[in-house]
Structure 1
Amino acid sequence: MNVPATATEAPPPLQDTHVIELVSAVASKITGVSVYTRGAEITRSLKVDLKTGQNQIIIDGLPNVLAEDSVRVDGHGSATIHDVTISPTPPKPHAVLTSPTLEELRAKKTSIENAKERAKNASEFLVTYISRQDPPQIDPGKLQDIIDNYESASHKLDERLTKLRAEKRRVSGEICEEEERIRSNHAATATSGMLNNRVTISMCADAECPVELELRYMVTNATWKPIYDVRIDTEAGLKGKPVVLTYKANIAQYTGEDWAGVPIVLETAEPTVGLHLPTLYSWTISVYDPPPPTQYSGPVMPTSELRMQPMMAPPVFVQASRPRSRSRSPRRQSRSRSRSPRADIIMSQPIHAPSVIKQMMAEASKAVDFNVTYTVPGLMTIPGDQIAHSVTIVKLELDTTLEWVSVVRSDARVYLKAVIKNASDYSFLSGTSSVYLDGSFIAKSHIPAVRPGQSFDCSLGLDPSIRVTYPPLSKRLVQSGFVTKSKTQTYTQQIMIHNTKSVAIDNLIIRGQVPVSVHSNVTVKLSSPPLEAPDARSASNTATSMFSMQKETVVNKSGVHVPAPVNVGKGIVAQWDGVDNVLFEEDVGSLGKNGLLFWKCSVPPQGKVNLSLRYEVSAPVDSQILGLSGM
């Protein structure tokens, strides 16, 4: 059989159409579900016995949230599909909970009960007959025959009653099963009014034959979201051992159907049902031609009323001529207004212009530029209760690096984070994660979309075992100059770090900053750490001259040469912030222009480290600088 609705062979001689009415939940079985982030594709299979000629298969009880454009029918067998239509299920005046099979079983039960009653009456008749016999009048030679006949007749009646009772129990059981089937059938077609769609399949068969059909359709009200469990051991992380990440999916649906014992596939792509290619219409431009002044011939309006009239807004246009200075004399302005109208290019708007097609913007948290398919192992049952059901996709051991970070100017506390590298073949979608540190739950976090081979950060909260002391800023004022006096303020900030752990830490990041001047008379010079000033690197726009000024460079994650870190002590280097975010060589000169920098420290167990930030701010002596105090 073919999916297309048009037949390629001549149909058999016209006969009465054989109509087969089915209910999807009873006559078919869900054999597969592909769940998307917004919707799902359902695959159902069913077997049907066709008659010779035209057959019409009506399948009721399909979800209201079914997408009509998505319905497809495939099949196996000696028949041809002519047409597939989707329509609402016609309302029924009342539900009749019966069937021909049920009526036949009930009639059979009645017949058994009548036969049982006759056998019971016959048995009672024998008892009455034998009790009315007068012993003196009975021929002794016939007494044994009477007793034997009574015994034989009673035995036959007892056997018949036993068989009738067993037959009645069997038929009663079949009646209960049929009634339950009818009730299930009725419930499947009337579940909260959510299963009111019908699919009608027109087929042609050359002879009586069984066929197997496969019905596929998309539904809304189904979704899946990625969730993660991240378990990190601090001591193991310091020794370079991997983190355990469990990749899970929360699946929920409210379609009116229950997905019972079905294989489930999770899709990250968006279904493309019902999409249409946008159309471009004619885009015209014209020259603005101002209308001639209107000659008013009516009665003169009083000046007071004239002032109260609202002014009409002039048309908005883009001027093609160069802008003129606003400092013209009144006489020159008058001459300018008396010239002919300038050629002003405007966008014309036809009366029946088509409306602009509004585009749906994807959410940043869900936007990924890759499509992945995950097959859930085994069979799952997802009832249509709108409750999220969790399933594990994979459990991974990934390499991780622990980093301790402190933004001392705002908060002297030390934050712990794990830099996790996705060395697996799985792509991670954006989702929430439950983070466990040393076996204890610490926080809910967020994992971005991560490709194989990429790294991501996972926040682990505060680490009180790393103590940072941030004393008050020290200042020293110097005035210089004979004719034009200036003042220079030297600021020094000390930062003391104490590692109370019994193990060394190699990735302690201390973030700092120096002020940035936005005025030409104010300059800021960084002296410690001795990082190269941005102005020195950006004196030339060419990368060659820029790198010739730099003593040493390194290659960042994007393959761009950036200034190398500066050694300021044993196990301590300093660098401008953002070196890993530089994507092009010409952007290297912008490093440090925001005043952000950091130290990367290695601290031995129970060890201490001292850092120093020193910079000078110079300005005219009589100037008042905003953003600094004490100048």
Structure 2
Amino acid sequence: MALLAETTPADAHLVELDTTTDSRITNVSLYSSKAEVSRLYKLTPVAGANKLVISGLPNALENDTLRVEGRGSGTIHDVSVAYAHPVKPLTTSNVLTALIAKKEEHQLAIGRCKRCLEGLQKYLDTLNVQHVDVTQLATIMETYEMTTKTFETRIIALEKEFGEVEKAMAVERARLQGQRTTNGELRTVATVGFFAENNGDVEIQLIYVVGCATWNATYDVRVSTEAKETPVHIMYKASITQSTGESWTNVPLTLETATPTFGVALPPITPWKLSIHKPHVPPKGNNLNTFKQRVVSALGVEKDSESFNESSIDDDVDYLDDSPSYSFAQVTSKGDLSATYLVPGPITVPSDGNKHCFTIREFDLFGQLTWVSIPKHDTRTRLTARVHNNSQFTLIPGKANVYVDGNFISTIDLPSVGPGEVFTCPLGIDQSIRTVYHPRLSKETKTGFYGKTTTTLFSQHITVYNTKLAPVDGLTVIEQIPVSEDSQITVALKSPDLALRPAAPGEARVAPLASTSHPPT
């Protein structure tokens, strides 16, 4: 079917289509903040010029994105989009008017029957033995019984019909109320000029982009400390929200991780000018001493004025810049993170603005579990997993609920992870591993007569208890030893025999002592 930019003739055959009843959604491609919807319409135009007026499209439709495709013998001339102004809501209809009249007729008929029964009863009450022969009494009573039965049966039938009419009126009023609600969100109208070569069935497909539709990735990360090769099980889910005004009922849904962008032209490059830098000369005064006092006040440590130079100021400022730490999963490598997922089976997402979760996939990942404890500051043991995404799915950023051995541990922010990439996932505190930091022992000895040497031997005992049923591999206990900043002070590690990481140039810090051990079972 061809598409030409021509004007539809004024005498074209008019075909009106209501989107809510005359079409169905064939596909929805959902992006992070928009959705592309494909709708299929079936119609039977006449040979020649036809004007298709398609109403009931969502207000969230972006007009510039509307495309029209056709299947059949014909040509599409032009496409235009307009917004139908709100009309006064309908409070009645021909059907409702007829039902109200029928209800009134039934009310009058029931009233007549009841009055007839009352008249018969009054007539019977007026009978007197002086005026009625005893031989006629049986006939009178039989006639009274038959007549009252007729009216009572008629009243029962009328009351039943009256109830059915009231139910029909309630249904019609609900329909009118539903139209008033729907018309407020579905007031976009598309007009399509179509020239049919002959009479026959034609299919028209509208493809458009709407806002007010989003999806976010959420995860359930389940870790088993007993599994060896694939200890990490991930449930990949999509949280979908849409308030476009149209209900997505039993539609095939495709999730897109790419974000549609507009205006992607290259940015302009402005001249990059160079000039001689003129350093700023501070005014004379004791600014350095004032800054020293501020740093000393913040640190609570006093230094000699001779050693308090610019380098010491820089060191102290770096020490003060202690930003808070957060529990984030980190990616060790990056790649192309654009992917497309087809949600299994047709799904239904109503236009209610609520979150609806659907499972994309479940898979097991390779990973290595490590336990780290720094008992000098905290005797609790922290569990971390280094996970390898050996699946073909791209994990986009999202919230992840972490479970370890079936117990909820924490919620973390999972980063973008492509297939084949590795990321670190903090798993919280492992209560089954307990560390005891015993009191430190020290022994001091002095040698020499003129130049005395003082030797202090520190001994620190650390005990780790493993309450798990299986032994733990990959436990790291970190302890500190002092670092000498004076040539007259020498620090030596006697036991265990471990190599220390050399300090970086200009680095003044305590050196960590790390060891790996297997706690007893």
TM tier, smaller: 0.5 to 0.7
Are residues 1:255 and 2:211 paired? no
**Would you say 1:407 and 2:342 are equivalent positions?**
no
| CA distance in structure 2 between the aligned counterparts of 1:327 and 1:375, rounded to whole angstroms | 68
- Retained in 2: the 8 A contact 1:26–1:185? no
Structure 1, unmatched stretches of 5+, are: 111-168, 286-317, 329-363, 539-588, 606-631
> Which structure's relative contact order is higher, taking Cα pairs within 8 Å and 6+ residues apart?
2
Partner of 1:220: 211
Q: Which residue of 2 aligns with 1:305?
A: none
1:269 aligns with 2:258: yes
TM-superposed deviation, 1:392: 1.5
Q: Deviations over 1:2-36 (max 9, x none)?
A: 4x5536xxx99x56122323221122111111112
Q: Distance in 1 between matches of 2:501 and 2:220?
A: 44
Equivalent-residue separation in structure 1 for 2:439 and 2:186 (angstroms)? 71
The alpha-carbon deviation at position 242 of structure 1 amounts to 4.0
Secondary structure of the structure 1 residue equivalent to 2:5: coil
Encode CA deviations 1:154-175: one digit per residue, 9 max, x unaligned. xxxxxxxxxxxxxxx9xx99xx
Task: Note the alpha carbon deviations across 1:303-344, whole angstroms, 9 max, x for none.
Answer: xxxxxxxxxxxxxxx86266598899xxxxxxxxxxxxxxxx
Residues 87-106 of structure 1 deviation map (CA, whole Å, 9 limit, x = unaligned): 2113334548669xx89xx9
- Rounded to whole Å, the distance in 1 between the matches of 2:197 and 2:487 is 96
Change (3 A) 1:56 1:437: same
Cα offsets for 1:67-104 (capped at 9, x unmatched): 222221111122222222222113334548669xx89x
User: 1:51 deviation in Å?
Assistant: 2.9
Residue in structure 2 matched with residue 527 of structure 1 by the alignment: 493
C-alpha deviation, 1:504, in angstroms:
1.9
Aligned CA distance change for structure 1 residues 411 and 365 (closer, same or farther; 3 Å): closer
Structure 1 distance, partners of 2:283, 2:243, is: 70
Answer whether contact 1:5 1:84 (CA < 8 A) is retained: no
Cα distance in 1 for residues equivalent to 2:252 and 2:182:
24
Matched residues, number:
411
CA distance in 2, matches of 1:213, 1:284: 55
Q: Deviations over 1:375-426 (max 9, x none)?
A: 1111111111122222111122333433222122321111234443322222
Equivalent of 1:599 in 508, 512, 515: 515
Counterpart secondary structure, 1:191: helix
Task: Identify which of 260, 267, 276 aligns with 1:320.
Answer: 276
Aligned 8 A contact 1:44 1:214 in 2:
yes
Which residue matches 1:574? none
CA distance in structure 2 between the aligned counterparts of 1:42 and 1:446, rounded to whole angstroms? 31
Residue 39 (structure 2) aligns with: 44
Q: Matched residues in 2 for 1:429 and 1:467: separation?
A: 35
Distance 1:43 1:459 in 2: 42
Deviation at 1:58, TM superposition (A): 1.9
Structure 1 residues 325 and 259: CA distance shift in structure 2, 3 A: closer
Residues 1:29 and 2:18 are matched in the alignment: no
Match of 2:234 among 238, 245, 249: 245
Classify the secondary structure of the residue corresponding to 1:203.
strand
CA–CA distance in structure 2, aligned partners of residues 192 and 277 of structure 1:
39
Normalised by the length of structure 2, the TM-score is 0.65
Q: What's the secondary structure of 2:518's corresponding residue?
A: strand
Alpha-carbon distance in 1 for matches of 2:177, 2:40: 20
Q: 1:248 to 1:323 in 2, by over 3 A?
A: closer
Structure 2 CA distance, aligned partners of 1:326 and 1:445?
47
More moved, 207-216 vs 459-468: 459-468
Report the Cα offset of residue 464 of structure 1.
Answer: 3.3
- Separation of aligned partners in 1, 2:489 and 2:208: 68
Give me the whole-angstrom Cα distance separating, in 1, the residues matched to 2:255 and 2:88. 41
- Check 1:321–1:504 CA distance in 2 against 1; reply closer, same or farther (3 A cut): closer
Does residue 1:497 correspond to 2:485, yes or no? no
2:268 aligns with 280
Aligned to 1:68: 63
- Give structure 2 stretches of 5+ with no counterpart: 103-160, 285-328
Contact 2:483 2:511 in 1 (8 A): yes
Offset of residue 40 of structure 1: 1.4
Pairing 1:193-232 to 2, within 5 Å after superposition: 193-232=184-223
SS at match of 1:399: strand
Q: Secondary structure at the match of 2:417?
A: coil
Equivalent of residue 434 in structure 1, options 401, 415, 423: 401
Separation of aligned partners in 1, 2:260 and 2:283: 61
Q: Which amino acid aligns with 2:33?
A: R
Q: 1:378 to 1:26 in 2, by over 3 A?
A: same
Offset, 1:449: 2.4
Q: Which amino acid in structure 2 is aligned with residue 384 of structure 1?
A: S
- What letter is aligned with 2:48? G
Letter in 1 for 2:276: A
Q: Which amino acid aligns with 2:196?
A: A
% identical equivalent positions: 34
Q: Distance in 1 between matches of 2:507 and 2:516?
A: 17
Alignment RMSD, CA only? 4.7
Amino acid paired to 2:268: L
CA distance in 2, matches of 1:257, 1:219: 10
Partner of 1:6: 5
Q: Distance in 1 between matches of 2:488 and 2:212?
A: 61
Q: What per-residue deviation string (whole Å, max 9, x for no partner) do you get for residues 108-131 of structure 1? A: xx9xxxxxxxxxxxxxxxxxxxxx
* 2: CA distance, partners of 1:522 / 1:69: 79
1:547-600 CA-to-partner distances (Å, cap 9, x unmatched) read xxxxxxxxxxxxxxxxxxxxxxxxxxxxxxxxxxxxxxxxxx899978445322
Instruction: Please give the alpha-carbon distance, in whole angstroms, between the structure 1 residues aligned to 2:490 and 2:244.
Output: 64
Where does residue 50 of structure 2 map in the other structure? 55
Task: Show the 5 A alignment for 1:92-131.
Answer: 92-93=87-88, 95=90
Output aligned runs, 1:211-610, within 5 Å. 211-234=202-225, 236-237=226-227, 239-240=228-229, 242-272=231-261, 274-277=262-265, 280=268, 283=271, 320=276, 323=279, 369-473=336-440, 493-513=460-480, 527=493, 530-534=498-502, 595-596=511-512, 598-605=514-521
| Letter paired with 1:434 | N
What amino acid is the match of 1:527? L
Structure with higher Rg: it is 1
